[in-house]
Structure 1
Amino acid sequence: MTAGEPRAAFSEAYGRTPTAVASAPGRVNLVGGHTDYNEGLVLPMAVDLRTAVALAPRDDGRIRLRSTEFADEVVVDGLPDDPIDDRDDSWANYPLGVLVELDAAGLAPVGDGLDLLVTGDVPQGAGLSSSAALEVATAAAAYGLDPGVETGTDLPKGRLAEAAWRAETGFVGLDCGIMDQYASALCRADEALFLDCRSRETERVPFPDDDYRVVVVDTRVEHELAASAYNDRVAECREAAERLNDLLGGVDTLRDVDRDDFLAHADHLSAPLRRRVRHVVTENERVRAAAAALSAGDFDAVGDRMYESHASLRDDYEVSCRELDAVVDVAWTTDGVVGARMTGGGFGGSVVALVAADAVDEFSARVDRALSEEADVHPRTFVCASAEGVRLE
């Protein structure tokens, strides 16, 4: 996507020039599965696929939204109180929710209405968090409507990420953690982002991708359990935290439980809750270890933590499936692949792998053969480089 494409698409759609344009990247999460909504630790990286949002103000209170991915225009009269209850137009709830949050926070008054156009190349449903890229790009573009904000200005990226997260959890109603929005907003090229999802503290971790590539394999599979199981895991973690708080005190979320606490009180938990807690506790440890290894340039150690993460997500968190496991098995047996793990909610979706540059083609071919033969699945593969976070164009 070139810088001029969103402007040209906006002009074609609305017959005028946009006032502000912003773009935000998709992301991968190297380690840190299902820890974000437990206020834990994650290690994401922005990728070189972006979503752009172009805006121009109106003076009649009407909000018109278009996307190059969808044929129909969505029109609302004023900022809505509730999401659009229409499956075909549900994509519009993500930018609408952001506009509602920004207006309420005084970051971008948009009550007089606007025209909005979405374009870009972050694929939907591929585990690269296209929704967060859309939210964060919308937030930055709306902020850029202020005449005093110019291209290249320092954006309040943390505040925009928080508004985008509130839009997804509050307006859209998805019970997610902060990771995706923070990654899309704050990541930088040649770095991963060590993020504490409780304190919002970040640490930039060097990720020179001269020798290794991040490969995302979208299995194109989503089992019926995906949505309900995600909600079940969130509820189980809350139940486990409540139980451990009764035993230990001071446990607001599973972030407050360390290995010694867990081992000392594991027998007081039911078997399913014991497995959930063990995953969260050990996954936070793996994130710390992976960040330290990446800082030291030890990609083999990073890969080991990825494989361990997948095993924990499969066995203790129980959110994997045979297609995801098949991709990780191929990674394990392919020379040049140092690590792989499922990413996202689970029960389908994608695997992220850390692959030597000269092994990418072989890995991709082997994955395609394995899934075609074993599961009659034809995956999409994305070879990603690290990228800058949100910016005004």
Structure 2
Amino acid sequence: MTQDLTETAREKFAAHFGCEAQGVVFAPGRVNLIGEHVDYNDGLVLPMPVKAGSAIAWSTGEGSDIEVHAADLAESDGFPADAPSKPEQVGWTSYVRGMAAQWDTPIPAMRLLMTGDLPRGSGLSSSASLCIALGRAFDAVTGGATDPTVLAEKAQQTEHEFAGVACGIMDQMAVAAGEPGHAMQLDCRDLAYRQVAMPHDWAVLVVNSGVTRGLVDGEYNARRAQCEAAAAALGVASLRDATMDDIAAADLPELDARRASHVVSEIARVRQASNALEQGDLSAFGQILREGHASLRDLFEVSHPVVDQLVDRLQEIVGKDGGARMTGAGFGGSVVVVTSPGHVAAIEAEFGDRLLRVT
């Protein structure tokens, strides 16, 4: 899929700009197996890259502007390479200008054509994928070799400053440093990570619920504020440092207590999931996914009725042979299911047009 997408980007570049691209870069999307809404609480997460993503064909240009065309939207933008201003409204141009603004090395005039095969709003980090791809394009033209962690930090800063989303760094790190066929156990406090190979007899699939979610409607930022309030009330730097006993003993407002309970229990689930993954214990891993979804639905309240129904249906198909849960920030998006290859055909038969195979 990556090769097809990069060739598509090259062909569309030539058709739009009337010249050949000098290079094409790619960045995948990501699916988070477990560890939701804990990255901005300094927690542990377990994401992995998917095959779909963002491709950008590029060349140097004339003058001093960056010209960019979003082929999938048939929209274009242009701005001075040395003065990328913030757009009045948040949109795809926010990410292009934001990543250019983060760049330390002067960027020459460029032509960029962007295309991708990640459904927007599906919970697979299309924005992080775009940001990392842009960073790789800027890296290519300026002759740098930016460390993946630094690239992820620039992408996160773009989300904060140009898109208005107070996100953690999980998505950007998974996209920038993830390895195909591996889950990344990432410590969001110090950004230390290790790659954990997925067992060959496990299948990871993502099913799009069809409910497009948005983050800049205030709900995501509100959850972050609630977590920060709970941490302050508990007297800890972040909820990473809290325990369930701390929450039980504190006189927290009910809402903040539920948010904190999700975060603390979810961090524990990431550790449990990593152990189950390394031991090849699919049944235990599936149970952890089910518990994670219930926590997101009931304690953090970021699920959606359509997503809950999809999780229940996928769980019916796989039984105890794996598990399913919502993935991503919530309010729609996608469901990840981890199971044995024997159940893939049944899932494909029912959800083929909404299905993305990760392994």
Q: Structure 1 CA distance, aligned partners of 2:245 and 2:89?
A: 48
Say whether 1:71 aligns with 2:56: no
Given the two structures, how large is their TM-score scaled by the length of structure 1? Answer: 0.84
Question: Helix, strand or coil for the counterpart of 1:240?
Answer: helix
Change (3 A) 1:225 1:74: closer
Q: Deviations over 1:245-289 (max 9, x none)?
A: 1xxxxx121112123323332xx1111111111100000000011
Say whether 1:287 aligns with 2:270: yes
Alignment of 1:195-274 (within 5 A): 195-208=186-199, 210-222=200-212, 227-245=217-235, 251-265=236-250, 268-274=251-257
Question: Helix, strand or coil for the counterpart of 1:310?
Answer: helix
Q: Structure 2 CA distance, aligned partners of 1:61 and 1:225?
A: 33
Measure how far apart 1:35 and its partner are.
Answer: 0.6
Q: Structure 2 CA distance, aligned partners of 1:346 and 1:362?
A: 26
CA RMSD across the alignment: 2.2
Q: Deviations over 1:42-94 (max 9, x none)?
A: 1000011121112222342211111220212212234455432357xx21221
The answer (yes or no) to whether the contact 2:84–2:100 under 8 Å persists in 1 is no
Q: Structure 1 CA distance, aligned partners of 2:286 and 2:257?
A: 26
Residue matched to 2:334: 350
Residue matched to 1:376: none
Q: Deviations over 1:343-393 (max 9, x none)?
A: 12222221111132221232354569xxxxxxxxxx8222222xxxxxxxx
**Paired amino acid for 1:47:** V
**Paired amino acid for 1:73:** S
Measure how far apart 1:223 and its partner are.
Answer: 7.1
Say whether 1:168 aligns with 2:159: yes
Change (3 A) 1:115 1:262: same
The answer (yes or no) to whether the contact 2:205–2:356 under 8 Å persists in 1 is yes
Change (3 A) 1:181 1:226: closer
Measure how far apart 1:225 and its partner are.
Answer: 9.6
The answer (yes or no) to whether the contact 1:97–1:171 under 8 Å persists in 2 is yes
Given the two structures, how large is their TM-score scaled by the length of structure 2? Answer: 0.92
The answer (yes or no) to whether the contact 1:330–1:366 under 8 Å persists in 2 is no
List alignment gaps of at least 5 residues for structure 1: 246-250, 369-378, 386-393
**Paired amino acid for 1:253:** S
**Paired amino acid for 1:306:** L
- Greater relative contact order, per chain length (Cα 8 Å cut-off, separation 6+): 1
The answer (yes or no) to whether the contact 1:28–1:46 under 8 Å persists in 2 is yes
Q: Deviations over 1:210-234 (max 9, x none)?
A: 3222221211224799833222211
Alignment of 1:1-393 (within 5 A): 1-2=2-3, 3-80=6-83, 82-86=85-89, 90-102=91-103, 106=104, 108-110=105-107, 112-147=108-143, 156-208=147-199, 210-222=200-212, 227-245=217-235, 251-265=236-250, 268-335=251-318, 337-366=321-350, 380-385=354-359
Q: Structure 2 CA distance, aligned partners of 1:136 and 1:23?
A: 8
- Structure 1 stretches of 4+ moved >6 Å: 223-226
The answer (yes or no) to whether the contact 1:262–1:277 under 8 Å persists in 2 is yes
Comparing 13-22 with 293-302, which one deviates more in the overlay? 13-22
The answer (yes or no) to whether the contact 1:22–1:54 under 8 Å persists in 2 is yes
Q: Structure 2 CA distance, aligned partners of 1:335 and 1:159?
A: 39
Measure how far apart 1:179 and its partner are.
Answer: 0.6
Q: Percent identity?
A: 39
Question: Helix, strand or coil for the counterpart of 1:198?
Answer: coil
Question: Helix, strand or coil for the counterpart of 2:21?
Answer: coil
List alignment gaps of at least 5 residues for structure 2: none
